[in-house]
Amino acid sequence: FALLGKLTDWIVASIAAPFLRWEDAFARR
């Protein structure tokens, strides 16, 4: 279960990172 949770967190981070980065860039304008 620990490995599954870690994998899920990694997937979520991979999906969220670009979105958060785009949101940050958009907020800077």
Long-range pairs for 6-10 at CB < 8 Å and ≥24 separation?
none
Q: What is the pLDDT of residue 10?
A: 92
Note down the domain range covering 23: 1-29
Q: What is the pLDDT of residue 28?
A: 75
Total number of domains in the chain: 1
pLDDT in tens, the chain (29 residues): 789 889 999 999 899 888 888 887 788 77
Q: Which two tokens stand for residue 24?
A: 């940050």
pTM of the model: 0.47
